[in-house]
Amino acid sequence: MTNPPTGDPTDPSGGPSDDGPLDPSGGVPEPGPVTLGEARRILAGLLPHIHNLIALRADFAELQADLAADGTSPLGGLAEAKSLEARLFATVEHLAAHGAQVKGFAPVLLDFLGERDGRPVLWCWLEGDPDIYWYHRQDAGFAARRPV
């Protein structure tokens, strides 16, 4: 699991860290359970935003690395880093507002609350997957992923 970038171009990690979940909801109520078909439709509608998030993430990581190395970047300076960070968070908030639980940032990992055999589950999508092919019990986490 990963945290969003810090926004500090002098961050020695040069990019996002891997030490905790991303919680962008900002108090947005979590929607109720959705079927696998509904989760897939939601994901399809969010894909343009996810692709934008991935592009922003790459720009932000490169900008951070450049600024940390020599203080200059073809992508801009500190103001551009702050702008990219704000755009990243706005995109993550958009995903959350549409029912996606953003569990990872690099790679993007999304969960959608669902139910299977009367038990709460999370329909699980990982960056690079063309569709939702996995689920896991809500109480068991990513390590318990199973094919749908």
- Each residue's pLDDT, cut to its tens digit, for the chain (148 residues) gives 444 444 443 333 333 333 333 444 444 445 689 999 999 999 999 999 999 999 999 999 999 999 999 999 999 999 999 999 999 999 999 999 999 999 999 999 999 999 999 999 999 999 999 999 999 999 999 999 999 9
Contact 84, 58 (CB under 8 A): no
The reported pLDDT for the residue numbered 143 is 96
d(CA 16, CA 106): 7
Closest C-alpha to 39, from 116, 127, 125, 118 = 125
**Residue 126 burial (10 A CB sphere; 0-12, 13-18, 19+):** middle
**The residue count for the chain:** 148
* SS3 track for 74-92: CCCCHHHHHHHHHHHHHHH
Q: Residue 30: what pLDDT?
A: 54
| Residue 42 burial class via C-beta count within 10 angstroms: exposed 0-12, middle 13-18, buried 19 and up | buried
- pLDDT at position 76, please? 96
What pLDDT, on a 0 to 100 scale, did the predictor assign at position 32?
Answer: 87
Question: Residue 5, preceding bond cis, omega within 30 degrees?
Answer: no
Angstrom distances, CA of residue 73 to CA of 69, 86, 123? 9, 19, 39
Q: Which two tokens stand for residue 85?
A: 């960070």
Q: Which pLDDT does position 19 carry in this prediction?
A: 33
